[in-house]
Structure 1
Amino acid sequence: MKLSTDTTLSKWFNVETLSAYYELTKPGITFTVLASMLIGFVLGSAGSLNFVLMAHAALGTWLIASGTAAHNQFLEWRLDGQMKRTQTRPLPSSKITPKQSVTFSLVLILAGSAYMIFMVNLLAGMISIATTIIYLGAYTPMKRVSAANVFIGAVPGALPPVGGWAAATGHLGDAGMWSLFAIVFLWQVPHVMAIAWVCKDDYRNAGFRMLPKNDENGTKAVMLIVGCLVALLPATWALYAVDLSGLTYLAGGMACAIAFLWYGIRFAFDRTKEKAKKLMFASFFYLPAVWIIIFIDQLLS
């Protein structure tokens, strides 16, 4: 019996398996979610930070975001195996089993939800749970049905700063909070569509519908991308207009938004994979840059 137990534990907890579990949490995306939540918490705190509460919110967010990312991979592991960009993920490459992954992901989601409710507040916990439900229950299956999934997925993608605001204040409804939501929502649409354009053959082979139907020349995609990037300009200004940030943020944030728009316009006039890649990398740069600028602006204010 002891030998059997030791063998089971070694299957679950050897170095290779632990590394696969960590990869299953999509650390890069999870870190982005965590950073977005912390920005919402900092701005919602209005200069009066509760560092203990912030630490609790960070841990709870990390748990539930990691679990959500892991469960998404469990739901899509067969499809991931059909795409070059995802064939080496833990499940399609058989680094861990589906049973291990679903157990791991559900434990993280449940633990994170409970932690947010009891250690932060009920509202923050409910927002985290809603984020997970929309992401896994609506966005994930919709990816195989319609390109409208991009807008559905942008909602849970934009909720982390709302959750951070709720964690700090215990309430919703402030205009500044919704400005943060708008910034992330409008960033995410061109971000996802640029990736979809770069990887459109992979997505098509796996049955994902990430680009508008009957849009081989990209006219619809361009309208959505440029439309969101143009709308990002007033959304950026709004955070300054409601006195949540100063001139440092306004100058830096607008510069980032204009640069992002420039790459969108370049793609609009030359819809090649090369220009889509440049837009994709601009999207990778944009959100971290804006968060850093907000943080610096808060330090200077």
Structure 2
Amino acid sequence: MSDFGHTFSRRGGARLFSNSALPGAPAGAAPAALSRHRFKAGYFLSNTLLARSNGTSVASPATDRPTTVADTQSPATTTNDVPATSDTPLLPHRRRQAARRDELRQTKSPTNSMATSLPPDASSRLADTAARAPADSLRRTLSALLSLSKPRLTVLVVLSAMVPYALYPVPAFLASTSAGLAAADAIPSLSPLTLLFLTTGTTLCSAAANALNMLYEPDTDAKMTRTRTRPLVRRLLSTRSAVLFAAGCGAAGVAALYLGVNPTVAFLGAANIALYAGAYTPLKRVSAVNTWVGAVVGGIPPLMGWAAAAGESATGDGTWRELLFAGDGSSLGGWLFAGLLFAWQFPHFMPLSWGIREEYKAAGLRMLCWVNPARNARVALRYSLVFVPLCLGLCAAGVTEWSFAVTSLPVNLWLVREAVKFWRYEGHKGSARSLFWASVWHLPVIMVLALAQKKGMWARVWSSVTGAPEDEDDEFDDDDAEWVEVVGAGSGSGVGIVGPAAGNTTSTRR
């Protein structure tokens, strides 16, 4: 027995050979070879029938190897874990199962599916369009440049500036007298030219800030599912082209705001670029405070819209003090809108970041979702509670009717309920996804409700439809007073005076 080893033939039977027959084997290698080829526990179970039941065939002599216990464990282990090769062909149904497993493995997200549950953003779609276009085509260049601007985020920024502009309480618009109505007709509550410059400048400033953000972190973008398709990561654009695009958009945006709106709005636009690209983006690698800095960036566009409308109605020199810190308290509405957008960032971003917290951690970005998950949930709940007093403040400041406090309450309570669930389960049991989608719907609904209940809007609409003054009693009282004054001045004896003035004149003469 000392001169024999063991292996298996193609038919499954035992075949004996001498260790001395091994080519190039030294004379003293026989004992060592025997120690390596001792009989294993599964030796007598390894046969062709068992191999066929496992869905595999026996190895050919060219690839013979000693049989181990792991080779005879279970069919599931053999077919699921061992990849199919040309030497070990799988049966047809096993090949179909392996193909399905490979497909699932390729489409499976490395995180907990928050990234895959979101629809592809506009930047990713534009980057795909650019990648399919010819290398030097105009379509490829324009699609890649537009992808740098993050179109969906830019649209949200522009809308957050337009709503406060539309809701600014123009004094002449709220006037109830005929003189006030005439003044309101002469001074519209919305200037189309100012609105055009405001939206254009805000769009360009947002595009510049987003492009600078992508220029700063292509290495971390490449490590995350949400950002790995960005144009600079895929090298659809050169760095020089991206820098020129960002600089051009920033200069043109600030110039449009300065020349077409006012210097205060232009300063706010430039400050937004500096904060987003120069403070928020670098802080993402340093501290979780970056989220609060990003929330400040989100609160600036509403102030821009408010200051643009206030500049049209300014009675003084129109400086930043008058537009943003008016002594009569008329600037309060702008700060309330800024607070609303600032607070909204947290119930929106905290559940979104929690869903991809492992990607943030792997990329080296210090987000609260993985640094302190419990505090991440508490912050989302804390800021969701402030929407109720903010909506009440808009009513008290004369920006909206008091009915807005009632109609906005169910939407705010819905957000609070989802935030409570997110805090209680710390993002698990679907609470993160529920809060994220609640925040997505919450902001546009609040904005639409505020626009529909602007202070004095429906009273003015009613007076325009009926053709009657808003306050008929005041008008008649004014006419009576003027009649008495004219009659009293034009008649010394009171003869021929009729009506209320006659009685008053008679009593005076007596």
Q: TM-score, normalised by structure 1?
A: 0.91
Greater alpha carbon shift after TM alignment, 272-281 vs 163-172: 272-281
Equivalent pair of 2:347/2:384 in contact (CA under 8 Å): yes
Other-structure match for 2:438: 282
Q: Does 1:86 align with 2:227?
A: yes
In the TM superposition, residue 123 of structure 1 has moved relative to its aligned partner by 0.5
Seen in structure 2, the aligned counterparts of structure 1 residues 88 and 52 have a Cα distance that, compared at 3 Å, is same
Residue 335 (structure 2) aligned to one of 146, 163, 178: 178
Equivalent pair of 2:374/2:426 in contact (CA under 8 Å): no
Other-structure match for 1:110: 251
Seen in structure 2, the aligned counterparts of structure 1 residues 21 and 230 have a Cα distance that, compared at 3 Å, is same
Counterparts of 2:258 and 2:136 in 1: how far apart (Å)? 29
Q: Does 1:297 align with 2:453?
A: yes
Residue 382 (structure 2) aligned to one of 206, 223, 227: 227
Equivalent pair of 2:197/2:260 in contact (CA under 8 Å): yes
Residue 31 (structure 1) aligned to one of 155, 163, 181: 155
Counterparts of 2:241 and 2:137 in 1: how far apart (Å)? 11
Q: Which amino acid aligns with 1:258?
A: L
Equivalent pair of 1:74/1:101 in contact (CA under 8 Å): yes
Equivalent pair of 2:219/2:233 in contact (CA under 8 Å): yes
Other-structure match for 1:211: 368
Seen in structure 2, the aligned counterparts of structure 1 residues 208 and 81 have a Cα distance that, compared at 3 Å, is same
In the TM superposition, residue 118 of structure 1 has moved relative to its aligned partner by 1.2
Counterparts of 2:210 and 2:350 in 1: how far apart (Å)? 19
Counterparts of 1:234 and 1:249 in 2: how far apart (Å)? 12
Equivalent pair of 1:67/1:109 in contact (CA under 8 Å): yes
Counterparts of 1:278 and 1:137 in 2: how far apart (Å)? 33
Moved over 4 A (4+): 10-13
Equivalent pair of 2:201/2:257 in contact (CA under 8 Å): yes
In the TM superposition, residue 251 of structure 1 has moved relative to its aligned partner by 2.8
Equivalent pair of 1:12/1:18 in contact (CA under 8 Å): no
Seen in structure 2, the aligned counterparts of structure 1 residues 30 and 290 have a Cα distance that, compared at 3 Å, is same
Other-structure match for 1:7: none
Equivalent pair of 1:40/1:160 in contact (CA under 8 Å): no
Other-structure match for 1:42: 166
Equivalent pair of 2:377/2:423 in contact (CA under 8 Å): yes
Other-structure match for 1:141: 282
In the TM superposition, residue 248 of structure 1 has moved relative to its aligned partner by 4.5
Seen in structure 2, the aligned counterparts of structure 1 residues 214 and 69 have a Cα distance that, compared at 3 Å, is closer
Counterparts of 1:56 and 1:88 in 2: how far apart (Å)? 32
Q: Which amino acid aligns with 2:386?
A: A
Instruction: Give the number of the structure whose residues are more often helix, by fraction.
Output: 1
Q: TM-score, normalised by structure 2?
A: 0.55
In the TM superposition, residue 293 of structure 1 has moved relative to its aligned partner by 1.6
Seen in structure 2, the aligned counterparts of structure 1 residues 227 and 272 have a Cα distance that, compared at 3 Å, is closer
Counterparts of 1:111 and 1:143 in 2: how far apart (Å)? 28
Give the alignment of 1:261-276 within 5 angstroms: 261-273=416-428, 274-276=430-432
Q: Which amino acid aligns with 2:202?
A: T
Q: Deviations over 1:201-230 (max 9, x none)?
A: 111111111116752xx3211221111111
Equivalent pair of 1:63/1:108 in contact (CA under 8 Å): yes
Other-structure match for 2:352: 195
Q: Does 1:21 align with 2:176?
A: no
Other-structure match for 1:260: 415
In the TM superposition, residue 155 of structure 1 has moved relative to its aligned partner by 0.5
Equivalent pair of 1:176/1:239 in contact (CA under 8 Å): yes
SS in 1 for 2:229: coil
In the TM superposition, residue 261 of structure 1 has moved relative to its aligned partner by 1.0
SS in 1 for 2:245: helix
Aligned residue pairs, count: 290
In the TM superposition, residue 12 of structure 1 has moved relative to its aligned partner by 6.7
For the pair shown, which has the larger CA radius of gyration, 1 or 2? 2
In the TM superposition, residue 255 of structure 1 has moved relative to its aligned partner by 2.1
Gaps of 5+ in 2: 1-133, 174-188, 312-322, 326-330, 460-510
Counterparts of 2:191 and 2:385 in 1: how far apart (Å)? 36
In the TM superposition, residue 13 of structure 1 has moved relative to its aligned partner by 5.6
Equivalent pair of 1:155/1:185 in contact (CA under 8 Å): yes
Counterparts of 2:166 and 2:282 in 1: how far apart (Å)? 34
Q: Does 1:150 align with 2:291?
A: yes
SS in 2 for 1:19: helix
Equivalent pair of 1:26/1:69 in contact (CA under 8 Å): yes
In the TM superposition, residue 45 of structure 1 has moved relative to its aligned partner by 5.3
User: For the aligned residues, what is the CA RMSD?
Assistant: 1.8
Other-structure match for 1:63: 204
Counterparts of 1:252 and 1:109 in 2: how far apart (Å)? 39
Counterparts of 2:410 and 2:207 in 1: how far apart (Å)? 32
In the TM superposition, residue 291 of structure 1 has moved relative to its aligned partner by 1.4
Aligned identity (percent) is: 29
Higher relative contact order (CA 8 A, sep 6+): 1
SS in 2 for 1:159: helix
Equivalent pair of 1:240/1:246 in contact (CA under 8 Å): yes
